[in-house]
């Protein structure tokens, strides 16, 4: 098993499990991860995903051993790593807790998630330039949209690593958590999210992602329509009644 899955209450934890290759992503790992996420995504009893490595390594990128001997025709015909596009269609919020290295495809995997929680030991980078290639799972696009052209050029063209403080300053990381009790803190954070209305979570994620695809004017209309639509859900009634009755909401 390249990925281990565990469900704790409404949180599904997917743990990359290739310690001898520093959790490098090969084709099998990609299929295992995405196939399971697709299944859990549909379950009303799952409110949040956590995709994690271990405290020493998040992921050292795409598996260089798998790629090294491939030629253009093979990459093109197999549409190598094209299946990662399915990952972007997952509706449930996904947290990437990064401790240790998140390099290349590892950094790209973290960026494909919705929230990056980093420990004090996290190190990010897109070192593909040193291998004679470029990022291939959206690095040039997502990093640029997250941190701007100037910083993305610096990181991708130099191939240098950045530490957690720089990653937070440039807006790559959502939040830094202490290394001590990192897993516990991540789970607390994920559990909190997972207990909100799944419909409202999906709507929030979709609306935020929409902002990257359209004009501000169109995005504001999109958001307002979804806001209106949520008044047709029992979760909106429960959330607002709970507030008025001074109790905690119990969402579906
Ligand atoms: N792939 C395969 N094996 C890896 C690996 C990787 N990315 N990273 C590490 N390993 C393996 C090492 O080969 C070594 O295995 P053995 O020699 O023991 O068999 C073992 O993990 C331990 O690694 P090290 O001995 O190097 O460990 P250190 O602590 O000294 O160094 C390190 C840790 C993370 C700094 C170092 O391992 C490193 O620099 N790793 C490579 C990082 C890297 O360059 N990552 C980018 C990979 S390229 C595409 C989509 C995406 C991509 C490509 C195409 N398409 C859609 C077409 C993505 C490309 C990439 O991510």
pLDDT of residue 252: 82
Q: What is the pLDDT of residues 139-184, one digit of tens each?
A: 999 999 999 999 999 999 999 999 999 999 999 999 999 999 999 9
139 pocket-lining for ligand 1 (C-beta < 6 Å): no
At residue 79, what are phi and psi to the nearest 5 degrees? Answer: 50, 55
User: What does pTM read for this prediction?
Assistant: 0.96
Average pLDDT over residues 25-42: 97
Confidence of residue 55 (pLDDT cuts 50, 70, 90): confident
State percent of the chain over pLDDT 70: 100
Which residues are tagged catalytic? 62, 105, 108, 128
Q: Is the beta carbon of 128 within 6 A of some atom in ligand 1?
A: yes
**Residue pair 36/1 in contact by the 8 Å Cβ criterion:** no
Supply the pLDDT for residue 143. 96
- 64 Cα nearest atom in ligand 1: 1
pLDDT at 246 over 90: yes
Of 20, 64, 156, the one to substitute when testing ligand 1's pocket (max ligand atoms within 8 A of C-beta) is 64
Q: Is 102 left (phi over 0), alpha (psi -120 to 50) or beta?
A: beta
Nearest CA to ligand 1 atom 36: 60
* Digit-coded pLDDT (tens) for 181-221: 999 999 999 999 999 999 999 999 999 999 999 999 999 99
Contact assessment for residue 3 and residue 15, using Cβ atoms and an 8 Å cutoff: yes
Average pLDDT over residues 49-54: 97
Query: In the prediction, which pLDDT does 173 show?
Result: 97
The pLDDT tens digits of the residues spanning 89-138 come to 999 999 999 999 999 999 999 999 999 999 999 999 999 999 999 999 99
Q: Tell me, what's the pLDDT at 145?
A: 94
- Give the residue, out of 19, 25, 61, 112, with the most ligand 1 atoms within 8 A of its beta carbon, to mutate for a pocket test: 61
Give the 3-state secondary structure of residue 59: strand
Q: Judge whether 63 and 26 are in contact, CB under 8 Å.
A: yes
CB of 136 sitting under 6 A from ligand 1 = yes
Ligand 1 centroid distance, CA of 25 (Å): 9
Percent over 90 (pLDDT), the chain: 99
Q: How confident is residue 44, by pLDDT bands cut at 50, 70 and 90?
A: very high
Measured CA to CA, the distance from residue 228 to residue 30 in angstroms comes to 37
One DSSP character per residue, 14-25 reads EEE--GGGTT-B
Q: How remote is the CA of residue 161 from the centroid of ligand 1, in Å?
A: 14
């Amino acid at each position: 098993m390249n990925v281990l899955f565990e469900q704790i209450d409404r949180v599904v934890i997917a743990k990359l499990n290739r310690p001898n290759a520093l959790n490098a992503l090969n084709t099998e790992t990609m299929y295992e991860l995405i196939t399971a996420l697709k299944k859990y995504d549909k379950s009303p009893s799952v409110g949040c995903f956590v995709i994690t490595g271990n405290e020493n390594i998040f992921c050292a990128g795409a598996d260089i051993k798998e790629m090294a001997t491939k030629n253009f025709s093979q990459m093109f015909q197999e549409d190598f790593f094209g299946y990662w596009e399915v990952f972007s269609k997952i509706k449930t919020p996904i947290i990437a807790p990064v401790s240790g290295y998140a390099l290349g495809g590892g950094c790209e995997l973290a960026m494909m998630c919705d929230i990056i929680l980093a420990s004090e030991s996290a190190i990010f980078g897109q070192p593909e330039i040193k291998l004679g290639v470029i990022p291939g799972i959206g690095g040039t696009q997502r990093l640029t949209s997250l941190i701007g052209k100037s910083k993305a050029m610096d990181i991708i063209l130099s191939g240098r690593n950045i530490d957690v403080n720089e990653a937070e300053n440039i807006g790559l990381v959502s939040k830094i958590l202490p290394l001590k009790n990192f897993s516990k803190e991540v789970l607390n954070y994920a559990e909190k999210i997972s207990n909100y209305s799944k419909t409202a979570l999906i709507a929030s994620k979709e609306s935020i992602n929409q902002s990257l695809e359209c004009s501000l004017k169109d995005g504001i209309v999109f958001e307002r329509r979804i806001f209106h639509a949520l008044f047709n859900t029992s979760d909106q009634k429960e959330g607002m009644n709970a507030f008025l009755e001074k109790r905690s909401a119990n969402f579906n």
